[in-house]
Amino acid sequence: MGAMSVYGLAALAAMFWGANFNLAGVVLRDLPPMEGAAGRFVLAALIMLAITIVRREGMAMLVVARQHGLKLAVIGVVGIAGFNILFFDAMRTTSAVNGSLMMATNPLMTALLAALVLRERLPRRQLAALPVAFFGVAAVILGGASASAILDGASVGGLQAGRGDLEMLGANLIWAAYNVLTRKLMPPGPQFANVTVVMAAGALVLTLASLFDGSPTVMPGPASGAALLTMAVLGSVLAYLFWSMAITRLGAGRTALFLNLVPVFAAIIASLGGNPPSHGQMAGGMVVIAAVAYAMLPERRQAAAKPCEENA
């Protein structure tokens, strides 16, 4: 597979994740948030299980579940269940553009959390980019609304400003915690089997939570059902597979740059659906993307000047 093909896979993964922010709104037309989150990952877990069996890694998955089930369950409860509970509820009251731009800061949030929890070094670029990125997020959240409107939860542009944005910030923090937990707890071995167990654990918790949520169980209509299936197949299974392939070929750092395309695709899809971003969202979004891109660029290595001086 050539380099351009790998770049294409990374871009497709970013596009699928960008589409998730728009598709969630369609799912929530018929389903309550908890049921939507559970439905997405029950479908995704079943697909991952089928692929694992086809790859003849079923026995490896059982061994992984027996030996490392508790660690993988913790990762799944945090990263799959915790994130998606907040994500789906947030998408009831915030926009796809807001949500995707807040999540675009996740590499920086993960680096900060890893520095605090795992004592990893926080590069100067990322340290400098953090306040700039968060300033951009604040501009996105405001999006032209007054501070009092946000504090009061007033409706701005058809959205209930405030709650959904705060929930998405919480989801961003939980996803950063998921990344840190994955580094700390994910066992070595067949990663496809590991992720299948993680996804199954998250799907189980989401299903139990939806049963005790108190919301009536309903069947999604054709549009909501198609959106839910698309989120499961494209935004969960294929996006993960394509992203993993890109990391294998390009490395984590270069692949992470493609995360900046997620809010771009989310904004394009929202615009095609008749909900273009506001000027405030666009301005804040450009600040966020620029800050994150700067932070993820590799730091320059000092060139060896001595040989040059000797030849002068």
Taking the whole predicted model, whether its pTM rises above 0.75 is answered as yes
146 phi/psi in degrees, rounded to 5: -80, 155
Please check the confidence at residue 154 and state whether its pLDDT lies above 90.
no
Residues 164-222 pLDDT 10s: 888 999 999 999 999 889 888 888 877 788 889 999 999 999 999 998 887 777 888 99
Please check the confidence at residue 295 and state whether its pLDDT lies above 90.
no
Please check the confidence at residue 304 and state whether its pLDDT lies above 60.
no
Q: What's the pLDDT band for 1 if we cut at 50, 70, 90?
A: low
Tell me, what's the pLDDT at 265? 93
Q: What's the pLDDT band for 38 if we cut at 50, 70, 90?
A: very high
Tell me, what's the pLDDT at 8? 92
Percent of the chain with pLDDT over 70: 88
Tell me, what's the pLDDT at 158? 45
Say if residues 84 and 147 touch (Cβ distance below 8 Å): no
Tell me, what's the pLDDT at 241? 87
Tell me, what's the pLDDT at 238? 93
Q: What's the pLDDT band for 123 if we cut at 50, 70, 90?
A: confident
Q: What's the pLDDT band for 137 if we cut at 50, 70, 90?
A: confident
Look over the chain and give the mean of its residue pLDDT values, rounded to a whole number: 84
Tell me, what's the pLDDT at 160? 42
Least confident of 103-112, 142-151, 254-263, 281-290: 142-151
Tell me, what's the pLDDT at 124? 83
